Structure 1
Amino acid sequence: MRARLAVFRNWIGRTQEEVEQARRDWTEGTRFGEVKGCDGDPLPAPEPPATPLRPWGRTR
């Protein structure tokens, strides 16, 4: 689970708020576009961990 979250965070956001917003955007289908030619439902975003995320990388 931790490795998947690390990848999720690397590509999506550096802060708890950025990751939560990206998860909402993915679930609502508002930010990441549509995959054409794929039958079936979109993959769900990973569940966030029970503990808060620490900021990672440079802060903005």
Structure 2
Amino acid sequence: MWWNFAARTQSEIEQAREDWSRGTRFGEVKGYDGAPLHAPKLPEVPLKPRGTVR
């Protein structure tokens, strides 16, 4: 998981970050008295899935 964006692939996380930055796809947070938070910069290395340890 990266910054509360749940996704299966790197590209889904990149798209979620872009959507968040544009103000699309994610609804308005009602009751929050401030500017929207900026998503942090993505790491410069590929994100690695954790997988399930059993």
Which structure has the greater CA radius of gyration?
2
Alignment RMSD, CA only? 2.2
Gaps of 5+ in 1: 1-5
TM-score w.r.t. the length of structure 1 is 0.67
Aligned pairs (5 A) from 1:13-52: 13-52=7-46
TM-score w.r.t. the length of structure 2 is 0.72
Higher relative contact order (CA 8 A, sep 6+): 1
Q: Compare the two structures and name the one with the higher helix fraction.
A: 1
Partner deviation per Cα, 1:1-54 (whole Å, 9 max, x = no partner): xxxxx4536x42121100000000111111110011211111111211011123
Give the number of aligned pairs: 52
Gaps of 5+ in 2: none
State the identity %: 59
Q: Which runs of 4+ in 1 moved over 6 A?
A: none
